[in-house]
Structure 1
Amino acid sequence: MVFGLLVPGDTAAVLAGVAANRGRLDLPTTLVLVVVAAIVGASIGFGTGRIFGARILRWAVFERHRERLDRSGRYFERHGSWAVIFGRFSTFFRTMLPQLVGISSMRYTRFLLTSTIGAIIWGSAMVMAGYAIGQSFTAILQRVDSWAAMVIVALIVLAVVYWKWRRHHRTPTDQP
């Protein structure tokens, strides 16, 4: 769960697509691996929620939110499948939703089916986006002289350093 928040799957999948475009990875294998990794990760999250979720929800801090939690459970009963599928496209929900669904009464078989559908759609979209970015990057490199590319990269780095420096050295009156 923590690793998923620190290193978003979107980034890894897009970079895998770029690597596939550059010939470092096989595209079909990359697609399968990203989808399988997404399914396995979500299944582990579901299991974690199923095993520990009920105990966590009994903590006193959640008592004042009991009505909201019950409403959320009823929402999952009606719309849980769609939440699992479309939750893939949000880093936070992709990371946290399997645990929340594990806490709910959704059966694992239903979760696995909807999670697989979402993983196929999400994984394919992310890897193919990376593949397209890789194609664009290759075309740009063919048209731009390597010295010009280095100058552009240096200017971008200098701009970011200057921006960070200005942000750090602002006086309280400079800030809105």
Structure 2
Amino acid sequence: MPGGHRVDNPCMFTLLPRVGVELPCGAGTLRFGMSEREAQWSVSTLADVREGWVCGWGWTFEARYGDLTISACGGGLPGEPGLEEIGFGRQGDPVPATPGDVPVVWHDIDLFGYPIPEVEEALAAFHPHPELPLQELGLRLDRPVVTAGPPGAAPRHPATEPRYLVAARLSHPARHRSPVR
């Protein structure tokens, strides 16, 4: 990460491209292709699991851990009923102005631990193939959406205040295949 900082925290989520997510505190790995029951069991070792519904998915559930909402979805592709997407969203204010409590790490980059420009710089330095966007590796990042308030109102968050990512999603390889030229 910035300044060569390596994230080394036993209670962090480690995103593993094409595999899934290594869960914190030795709780195992949430692997793409797992059944709904296996995925729920894995996450339930960390937090209470709540079933949900999202259009286009055969099944979905959420859990809260620290300041994160963890979501897992599966059964969205024909013939593939297993886990296909794992998401992490920051709870609270829609425009996070502080680092996340729990590290969510992609190749030693804590996605919620640094302001967006620093995360983008670290991702660009890590990512050796600019012609292949991170989405093709299964990673999607969500920036905060800042809206102007009512006319004449002071902005809720000054432009100089650091902004942090609000969400990160890792998808199964079948969801993001495309030819590389």
TM-score by structure 1 length?
0.22
Structure 1 or 2, whichever has the larger Rg, is: 1
Please state which structure has a larger fraction of its residues in strand.
2
Q: Which has the higher helix share?
A: 1
